[in-house]
Amino acid sequence: MVATTRRATPGTQRGVSLVEALVTIVIIALGLLGLVGLQSRLQLSEIEAYQRSQAMILLEDMANRISMNRAAIANYLTGNQPLGTGFTCNLASIPDTSANRIARDRCEWSMALEGAAATINSGANRVGTMVGGRGCVENLGGGEYLITVAWQGQVPLSTPPDGVACGASLYDGDTGSPCREDRCRRTLTTIVRVPNFL
């Protein structure tokens, strides 16, 4: 038997043309850019979820502190000055006695809101919790107390519901920033009910 070879006939194409290779490269590049954008959005979502979980822990912490000391709940009220970022206290100067329990609770919660669990630069910068964490305790009347934790979100969303004043207007960005009108302020709230048995 004699082997026959086939020759390309005019009009048939063999191999890949340069145009097809370029189209393939463009499609792959667009897909990779989409993956980079998805990765950045996932990272922001992870940071938001971490901050929300930290806020939930701190919210429960203060609710437990108040529940343990219901007789003096009025002393936990924060008024117009939220605890946390912007609030100064020196825990070392407050004696650890039952008479100073409320002052210690407020100072410890304030430090936790600022991130005292993790620091950098020899303890000067606290980084262990939410960005710009603040906490408020308000009297709603009728034996109900509203505890709120507020912090700086990563991306603008809708403003917190009406009636949640903790940290209002403290998280607005500069002019032209997307974080205007409290759109980057995040809040979590809970209500502690203190029955009056008298």
pLDDT digits (tens, 9 = 90+) for 35-58: 999 998 898 889 888 999 999 999
pTM above 0.85, yes or no: no
Report the number of distinct structural domains present in the chain. 1
More confident residue, 14 or 160: 160
Q: Given this model, what pLDDT does residue 128 score?
A: 66
Domain containing 182 equals 18-193
Q: Given this model, what pLDDT does residue 189 score?
A: 92
pLDDT of residue 132 exceeding 80: yes
Residue 13 lies in a domain: no
In order, the DSSP letters of the chain are -------PPTT---S--HHHHHHHHHHHHHHHHHHHHHHHHHHHHHHHHHHHHHHHHHHHHHHHHHHHTGGGGGGG--TTS-EETT----GGGS--SGGGHHHHHHHHHHHHHHTTTSEETTTTEE-SS-TT-EEEEEEEETTEEEEEEEEE-SS--PPPPTT--TTTTSS--STT-S--TTTTEEEEEEEEE-----
Q: What would the pLDDT profile of 164-188 be if each residue is shown by its tens digit?
A: 888 888 888 777 778 888 888 899 9
Q: What band does 92 get if pLDDT is binned at 50, 70 and 90?
A: confident
